[in-house]
Amino acid sequence: MRFQLIVGLLLSLFIQVSGSTYAQRVSLQVKNTTLSDVFEQVAKQTGYVFLYDDRSFTEKKISLAVQNAPVEEVLEACLKGLPISYKIVERNILFKQDESKRSLSTAAQQPEQVTGRITDSLGNPLQGVTVMVKGTTRGATTNAAGNFQIAASSGDVLVFTLVGYQRQEVTLDGQSNLQVALKMDFSDLEEVVVIGYGRQKKEDLTASVASFRPTEENARPVLGPDQLIQGRMAGVQVSGGSGSPGTSNRVSIRGIGSLSATNEPLYVIDGIPLVNQNAALLNFGENMNPLALLNPNDIESVEVLKDAASSAIYGSRATNGVILITTKSGKANQTKFGIDAFTGMSVVPNTDKMEMADPDLYLSVINEAIDNFNTQYGYSPGVSNYMERKENPFPGEPGTDWFDLITRPANTTSVSLSFTGGTDKTSVYLSGNYLSQEGAFIDQKFTRYTGKLNLTHKLYKWLEFGANTTYSYSNNKRVPGSNLGTTMMGRSLLQRPFDRPFKPNGDYYLGGTDELIYHNPFQIINEQDISLDNYRFLGSFFGRATITEGLVFKTMVGTDLTYTLDNIYYAENHPYGTGIGVKYDNRRFTPNVLWENTLNYNKTFDKLNVDGLLGYSYQKINLSTSNIAGSGFPSPSFQQLSVAASILEAGTTVTESALMSVFGRANLAWDNKYLLSVSLRADGSSKFHPDNRWGSFPSVSAGWNISNEPFWQLIGTTAKVRASYGETGNQDGISSYAYHAQMSGGRNYDNKSGIGVSTNGNRDLTWETARQYGAGLDLSFLNGKLNVTADYFIKKTDNLLYSKPEPATSGFTSIISNIGSMENKGWEFLVNANVPLGPVLWSSDFNISFIKNRLTSLIGDEALLIGANMTLQVGQEVGSFYMYKQTGIYQSDEEVPESLYKNGVRAGDVSYEDLDGNGAINVSDRQIVGTANPDFFGGWNNSFSFKNFDLAVFFTYSYGNEIYASYRTNTDRLGSGFMNMTQRVANERWTGPGTSNTTPRAIYGNAWNTQNSSRFLEDGSYIRLRSLNLGYTLPTEVAAKLGMNRLRVYLQGDNLHLWTNYRGYDPEVTNNFDPQFIGQDNLILPQLRSFNVGVNIGF
Partner 1 sequence: MYKKTTITNVLAVLMLGFLSSCTDLDFYPHTSVAPESVSERDMDALLNGMYNAVQNNQGRESYIMFDLVGGNLIGASGGSELAFIRNIMRTDYDLVNKNWSGLYQALYQVNNVLSIMADQPASEKRERMEGVAHFFRAYIYYNLVTRWGDVPLILENTTERVSRDPAAHVWQQIEADLAVALEKAPTYEGDYYYVSRQAAQALLARVLIGQNKMEAAAQAAEAVIALPTFSLDRFDKIFRHQQNREEIFSFKNLTEESTITLSRLFYTYAHDVSGSYVYKPTDAVMTLFDEGDNRKDISIATVSALNVINKYPSGQTGTDPFPVIRLAEMYLIAAEAKGLEGLPWLNQLREARNLPAIDPTTETAYQDAVALERRRELLAEGFRWYDLVRTGKAVEELEIEPYRTLFPIPDYEREVNSNLTQNDGY
Q: What's the min distance (Å) between Cβ of 676 and partner 1?
A: 31
H or E segment to which residue 1099 belongs: none
Per the CB < 8 A criterion, the answer to whether 321 and 253 are in contact is: yes
Nearer to partner 1 among residue 283 and residue 555 (C-beta): 555
Q: What's the min distance (Å) between Cβ of 868 and partner 1?
A: 8
Nearer to partner 1 among residue 33 and residue 759 (C-beta): 759
Nearer to partner 1 among residue 595 and residue 842 (C-beta): 595
Residue 771 CA, distance from chain mean position: 25
Nearer to partner 1 among residue 763 and residue 825 (C-beta): 763
Nearer to partner 1 among residue 2 and residue 31 (C-beta): 2
Q: What's the min distance (Å) between Cβ of 804 and partner 1?
A: 9
H or E segment to which residue 269 belongs: strand 266-269
866: nearest Cα among 878, 884, 849, 852:
878
Q: What's the min distance (Å) between Cβ of 654 and partner 1?
A: 5
Nearer to partner 1 among residue 714 and residue 1007 (C-beta): 1007
Dist CA 50 CA 625 (whole Å): 51
Q: How many CB atoms lie within 10 A of CB 934?
A: 23
Residue 1029 CA, distance from chain mean position: 22
Beta bridge partners of 837: 840
Q: What's the min distance (Å) between Cβ of 765 and partner 1?
A: 15
Q: What's the min distance (Å) between Cβ of 361 and partner 1?
A: 21
**Phi and psi based region of residue 561 (left: phi greater than 0; alpha: psi -120 to 50; beta: remaining):** beta
What is the sign, positive or negative, of the torsion defined by CA atoms of 1011, 1012, 1018, 1024?
positive
SS3 state of residue 1008: coil
Dist CA 586 CA 316 (whole Å): 31
Q: What's the min distance (Å) between Cβ of 50 and partner 1?
A: 7
Q: What's the min distance (Å) between Cβ of 752 and partner 1?
A: 5
Per the CB < 8 A criterion, the answer to whether 207 and 722 are in contact is: yes
Q: How many CB atoms lie within 10 A of CB 696?
A: 15
Nearer to partner 1 among residue 711 and residue 749 (C-beta): 749
Per the CB < 8 A criterion, the answer to whether 912 and 924 are in contact is: no
Q: How many CB atoms lie within 10 A of CB 345?
A: 16
Nearer to partner 1 among residue 463 and residue 608 (C-beta): 463
Q: What's the min distance (Å) between Cβ of 742 and partner 1?
A: 4
**Phi and psi based region of residue 673 (left: phi greater than 0; alpha: psi -120 to 50; beta: remaining):** alpha
970: nearest Cα among 958, 961, 962, 979:
979
Nearer to partner 1 among residue 220 and residue 687 (C-beta): 687
Dist CA 858 CA 887 (whole Å): 31
Per the CB < 8 A criterion, the answer to whether 724 and 676 are in contact is: no
Q: How many CB atoms lie within 10 A of CB 1022?
A: 20
Q: What's the min distance (Å) between Cβ of 186 and partner 1?
A: 44
Nearer to partner 1 among residue 701 and residue 1012 (C-beta): 1012
Per the CB < 8 A criterion, the answer to whether 647 and 676 are in contact is: no
Q: In Å, what is the CA distance from 285 to each residue of 252, 280, 282, 488, 1080?
A: 21, 10, 9, 10, 14
Q: What's the min distance (Å) between Cβ of 594 and partner 1?
A: 10
Cα dihedral 970→976→979→984 (10° resolution): 70
Q: What's the min distance (Å) between Cβ of 616 and partner 1?
A: 7
Nearer to partner 1 among residue 6 and residue 89 (C-beta): 6
Nearer to partner 1 among residue 81 and residue 512 (C-beta): 512
Helix residue ranges per DSSP H, 158-290:
225-228
- ∠ CA 597-599-604, nearest 5°, is 160
Residue 778 per-residue DSSP state = E
Dist CA 528 CA 520 (whole Å): 12
Nearer to partner 1 among residue 106 and residue 513 (C-beta): 513
SS3 state of residue 354: helix
Nearer to partner 1 among residue 422 and residue 575 (C-beta): 575
Q: What's the min distance (Å) between Cβ of 793 and partner 1?
A: 32
Q: In Å, what is the CA distance from 335 to each residue of 399, 912, 1037?
A: 61, 70, 20
Nearer to partner 1 among residue 446 and residue 688 (C-beta): 688
Q: What's the min distance (Å) between Cβ of 441 and partner 1?
A: 21
φ, ψ of residue 41 to 5 degrees: the values are -65, -40
Nearer to partner 1 among residue 647 and residue 835 (C-beta): 647
Per the CB < 8 A criterion, the answer to whether 761 and 739 are in contact is: yes
Per the CB < 8 A criterion, the answer to whether 518 and 512 are in contact is: yes
Q: What's the min distance (Å) between Cβ of 270 and partner 1?
A: 20
Residue 352 per-residue DSSP state = G
Q: What's the min distance (Å) between Cβ of 1011 and partner 1?
A: 9
Query: β-pairing, 266-269 with 322-327?
Result: parallel
Nearer to partner 1 among residue 204 and residue 925 (C-beta): 925
Per the CB < 8 A criterion, the answer to whether 301 and 270 are in contact is: no
Q: What's the min distance (Å) between Cβ of 660 and partner 1?
A: 6
Q: What's the min distance (Å) between Cβ of 513 and partner 1?
A: 5
What is the sign, positive or negative, of the torsion defined by CA atoms of 889, 894, 897, 903?
positive
Per the CB < 8 A criterion, the answer to whether 400 and 498 are in contact is: yes
Per the CB < 8 A criterion, the answer to whether 316 and 308 are in contact is: no
Dist CA 1050 CA 1034 (whole Å): 11
Nearer to partner 1 among residue 373 and residue 767 (C-beta): 373
